Amino acid sequence: MKSVIPPTKLKKLPLLFCLLLLVSSTRAQDAVFSQFYAAPVQLNPAFAGSTFAPRFAVNYRSQWFNFPNAYTTFSASYEQFLERTNSGVGLTVMSDNAGDGIYKTLSAGFVYSYRLQILDDLFLKGGLELGVVQERLDWERLIFLDQIDDLNGPGLPSQEERPERLTNSYVDISSGFLLYSSQFYLGLTLKHLNRPSQSYLTINENLQEGIPMRFSVHAGAEFSLSGNNKRGSQTFLSPNVIFVRQGAFVQINAGAYMGVGAFYFGSWFRHTVENPDAVIFLAGLKQGIFKLGYSFDWTISDFGIDNGGAHELSLILNLDNSESYKKRRGSRYNDCFQIFR
């Protein structure tokens, strides 16, 4: 008789195997928000100070929703422009949770940018981020292959050796550049410049080499479809593209964002070069200083939509858009396009 694993246990095994592979390679790739415009300093530290007044953002992402708490990511950030020093500053906090707490990452960072005016309508910004990261692994909840019995599923003792410590803390340094005018932007980001070590695990010798550096290029433009008032809520279209490479992982996002009065919409196609990954749909509302967005990643790879895709929420409080600040700033407008405002 062919032995089988009980269905209730079988459903959990693929996720646990994926998590084990995730931990053994220790985050071969970083999280990249689908709503990149709602977390610009996570994308590139040079975006710090894209508004004159303080700007606060909160982002939440749940990936592979049909697997209980497979991957959830939460981030919060503050940023603003300091006109006297021609600089931007910001603070970021991010929490990443894999497998309902089996593998957790918590990071906090300080972001600084400086702006140079090249021409009347052409600027160059350089940014630097200094972060502190702590990672934690719940070893007792991992399931290894030698623990699985053909008849009863997981439950056998494992021969894998428990690491001496299950937390790891390190400093993480990133930098970025941003070239922009009133019509386009082009950015370059280098994450993990110091290649911090994650060698508290000994499953993979490559961990001694540190986190692979993440290289990304992002670009976009804005086309006004009604009027030319920089302070208004005119209709506009913003095509954009993001290229990310980290180790052997490559990702390309290409699509467009459209604002129509208080509403905005968007759609992007994500490809990993080896195969198409997902189609992203976005809808949101902007009113006064508040901006709320929801997006869904529809998985089109062989992994299938049965995993639940990914849901993402963003909430932005942009004091640049308050009536009192609009009166004080006069005809000035902030650095980047309405997609980031």
* The token pair that represents 284 in the structure block: 């949101």
Which pTM was predicted?
0.81
Coil/strand/helix, residue 44: coil
Token pair 């902030």 in the structure block, residue: 334
Q: Is residue 227 part of a domain?
A: yes
Report the pLDDT value the prediction gives residue 143, as an integer from 0 to 100. 73
Long-range contacts of 164-169 (CB under 8 A, 24+ apart): 164/200, 165/200, 166/136, 166/137, 166/138, 166/139, 166/200, 167/134, 167/135, 167/136, 167/137, 167/200, 168/134, 168/135, 168/198, 168/199, 168/200, 169/132, 169/133, 169/134, 169/135
DSSP of 232-281: S---EEEEEEEEEEETTEEEEEEEEEEEETTEEEEEEEEE-SSSEEEEEE
Report the pLDDT value the prediction gives residue 265, as an integer from 0 to 100. 95
Mean pLDDT, 10 residues at a time, the chain of 341 residues: 34 42 47 86 92 92 75 92 93 88 89 93 94 86 73 71 80 95 93 82 55 93 74 80 91 94 94 88 94 93 75 93 69 61 77
Q: Is residue 75 part of a domain?
A: yes
Q: Write b or e for each residue in 210-231: b if 16 or more Cβ atoms lie within 10 A of its Cβ, otherwise e.
A: bbbebebebbbebebeeeeeee
Which residues on neighbouring strands pair with residue 268, listed in sequence order?
255, 280
Look up the CATH number of the domain holding residue 128: 2.40.160.40
Q: How many domains does the chain have?
A: 1
- Of 249, 225, 231, 197, the C-alpha closest to 338 is 231
Rounded Cα distance, 53 and 320, in Å? 5
Report the pLDDT value the prediction gives residue 12, as an integer from 0 to 100. 41
Can you give the C-alpha Rg of the chain in angstroms? 22
Q: Is residue 1 part of a domain?
A: no
Helices H / strands E in the chain, number of each: 4, 17
Q: Is residue 2 part of a domain?
A: no
Domain that holds residue 29: 7-340
- Of 61, 27, 77, the C-alpha closest to 192 is 27
* The token pair that represents 107 in the structure block: 């990071």
Rounded Cα distance, 148 and 158, in Å? 9
As to burial, measured by CB atoms within 10 angstroms (0-12 exposed, 13-18 middle, 19+ buried), residue 192 is buried
Rounded Cα distance, 23 and 103, in Å? 7
Report the pLDDT value the prediction gives residue 330, as an integer from 0 to 100. 53
Report the pLDDT value the prediction gives residue 225, as an integer from 0 to 100. 87
